[in-house]
């Protein structure tokens, strides 16, 4: 398989390093996510959907909430991610988790009568986000909550004081997502699209942090940058020498006293299926 190409691949890749990065990312985000699920009313005995689950880091947290009397269905296109999910499912003995191979752009998967759905960093990558919202509407029971995390403004991801190398990296990432049919700032469109598709917005929250290298949250964008530089080289969007310079500039700034990072702005949406 050529670098940067399929296994029903997508712009960030589905390799082992990415599975690990998604795990670290979920660990950093878990406290906020658990709080959002609690506010949305996710609870024991429910059927919940993890839409675009990746290797399932959030799926198993959802399954702990539903308990054995409920279930979680993880919908994902990547066979590699689903295999990783299945091996964790077996090892941890979760009978109430099922992974399904689904292309959210192509396949019809409505009709679960689900009690709730979780969807994080998916609308930014699919080619037809409004069609995905319609399917989500069809998959939820009336009154069922949908919790979404997407980027609102990816370009807020900067170092303070500013770094031209960091800003080039962020620009290239945004271009690569757009070139593959996605839209990093899709969170700006979702509230209106949700309303038009038959959802009522219950709450909207922006999430953005300003962190120092000693802060645990720093590890999340840092791990994305390390893997992202290699990915941009694989995709032919950056040459290896320049990737080395960008990585070196980041490492130097990380060691400099007083460096801060502003994270890419995320929107948290809790919407109710009308």
- How many chain residues touch ligand SAM (CB under 6 A)? 23
Residues with Cβ within 8 Å of residue 16, at least 6 apart in sequence? none
Chosen residue from 21, 46, 49, 76 binding ligand SAM by CB under 6 A: 76
Residues with Cβ within 8 Å of residue 129, at least 6 apart in sequence? 123, 183, 186, 189, 190, 193
Residue 139 near residue 109, CB atoms below 8 Å: yes
Q: Is 177 in the site for ligand SAM (CB under 6 A)?
A: no
Q: What angle do CA 97, 102, 108 make, to 5 degrees?
A: 110
Q: Is 80 in the site for ligand SAM (CB under 6 A)?
A: no
CB 234, min distance to ligand SAM, A: 16
| DSSP label of 211 | E
Please list the alpha-helical segments (H only) found in the chain: 16-40, 57-66, 79-92, 129-139, 164-179, 190-197, 219-234, 240-255
Chosen residue from 46, 47, 78, 96 binding ligand SAM by CB under 6 A: 78
Selected range binding ligand SAM among 8-16, 84-92, 166-174, 238-246, rule: CB under 6 A: 8-16
- The site map against ligand SAM for 113-152 (x = CB under 6 A) is -------xxx--xx--------------------------
Q: Is 57 in the site for ligand SAM (CB under 6 A)?
A: yes
Chosen residue from 7, 86, 98, 105 binding ligand SAM by CB under 6 A: 105
- Provide the CA 116 distance to its chain's centre, in angstroms: 17
CB 52, min distance to ligand SAM, A: 4
- Say how many C-beta atoms besides its own lie within 10 A of residue 23's C-beta: 16
Chain residues that interact with ligand SAM, rule: CB under 6 A: 10, 12, 14, 22, 26, 52-54, 57-58, 76-78, 81, 102-105, 120-122, 125-126
């Amino acid at each position: 398989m050529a670098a940067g190409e399929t296994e029903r691949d997508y712009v960030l890749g589905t390799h082992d390093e990415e599975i690990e990065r998604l795990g670290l990312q979920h660990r950093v985000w878990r406290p906020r996510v658990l709080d959002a699920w609690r506010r949305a009313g996710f609870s024991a005995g429910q059927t919940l959907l993890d839409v675009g689950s990746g290797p399932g880091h959030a799926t198993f947290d959802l399954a702990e909430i539903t308990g054995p009397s409920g279930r979680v269905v993880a919908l994902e296109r990547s066979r590699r991610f689903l295999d990783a999910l299945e091996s964790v499912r077996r090892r941890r003995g979760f009978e109430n988790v099922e992974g399904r191979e689904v292309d959210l752009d192509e396949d019809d998967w409505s009709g679960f009568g689900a009690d709730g759905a979780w969807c994080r960093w998916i609308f930014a990558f699919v080619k037809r986000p409004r069609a995905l919202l319609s399917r989500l509407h069809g998959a939820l029971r009336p009154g069922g909550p949908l919790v979404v995390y997407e980027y609102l403004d990816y370009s807020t991801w900067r170092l303070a004081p500013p770094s031209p190398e960091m800003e080039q990296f962020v620009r290239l990432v945004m271009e690569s997502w757009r070139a593959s049919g996605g839209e990093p700032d899709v969170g700006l469109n979702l509230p209106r699209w949700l309303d038009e598709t038959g959802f009522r917005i219950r709450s909207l929250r922006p999430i953005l942090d300003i962190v120092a290298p000693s802060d645990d949250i720093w590890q999340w964008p840092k791990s994305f940058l390390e893997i992202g530089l290699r990915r941009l080289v694989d995709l032919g969007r950056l040459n290896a020498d320049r990737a080395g310079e960008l990585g070196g500039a980041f490492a130097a700034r990380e060691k400099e006293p007083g460096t801060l990072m502003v994270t890419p702005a995320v929107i948290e949406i809790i919407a109710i299926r009308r």
